[in-house]
């Protein structure tokens, strides 16, 4: 007996694109070695991040306080993910907003979630295979935490590490 399953071409193309994009970024997502030359507003430092199912690559993400970076983020997983970067208050606000928006009925679709700008930090939501670039100024003080607040992802360990490093000598 033979069983044949049909996978829609669109799904195959989406998965193929996600895997190809993730593979292309994998080399550039490696941790920089040695001192880091900080980015500026005129020339942001490129930081490539791959969102996989329940993890961020690379980890840690190495940043210099006060620098400007361009995060090039690609979702190389099969599920949607978000990249939420900010302090503890930002992480708590997104966790609360997602919890409130999560429907109690299993098959229901959650409404879009948003926060006021003063609470939002940096959030990038990406469906499987999508990518985005965003310029971000690293704060001079305080800690930055990285997490995915899609329901269930944080509980499965989708937390990144941000490490502050000293800038390279000019």
Q: Band of the pLDDT at 153, cuts 50, 70, 90? A: very high
Pair of tokens at residue 149: 């607040």
Flag whether 50 is in a domain: yes
Flag whether 31 is in a domain: yes
For residue 144, what are the domain limits? 9-164
Flag whether 3 is in a domain: no
Longest dimension (CA), the chain: 70
Could you tell me the CA-to-CA distances from 169 to 35, 55, 131, 162 in Å, in that order?
8, 32, 33, 21
Flag whether 2 is in a domain: no
Tally of structural domains, the chain? 1
**Strands in 13-112 per DSSP E:** 45-52, 55-57, 61-63, 68-75, 81-86
pLDDT on residue 22: 44
Compare 134 and 121 and report the one with higher pLDDT: 134
pLDDT digits (tens, 9 = 90+) for 26-40: 444 445 567 899 999
Flag whether 169 is in a domain: no
pTM as predicted: 0.74
Q: What CATH number did the domain enclosing 68 receive?
A: 2.60.40.420
């Amino acid at each position: 007996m033979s069983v044949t399953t049909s996978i829609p071409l669109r799904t195959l193309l989406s998965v193929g694109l996600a895997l190809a994009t993730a593979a292309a970024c994998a080399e550039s997502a490696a941790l920089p070695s040695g001192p880091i030359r900080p980015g500026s507003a005129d020339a942001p430092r490129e930081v490539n991040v791959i969102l996989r199912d329940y993890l961020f690559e690379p980890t840690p993400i190495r940043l210099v306080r006060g620098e400007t970076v361009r995060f090039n983020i690609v979702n190389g997983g099969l599920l949607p993910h978000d990249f939420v970067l900010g302090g503890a208050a930002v992480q708590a606000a997104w966790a609360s907003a997602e919890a409130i928006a999560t429907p109690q009925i299993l098959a229901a679709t959650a409404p879009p979630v948003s926060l006021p700008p003063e609470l939002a930090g940096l959030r990038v939501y990406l469906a499987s295979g999508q990518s985005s670039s965003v310029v971000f100024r690293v704060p001079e003080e305080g800690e930055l935490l990285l997490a995915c607040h899609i329901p269930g992802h944080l509980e499965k360990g989708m937390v990144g590490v941000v490490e502050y490093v000293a800038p390279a000598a000019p």
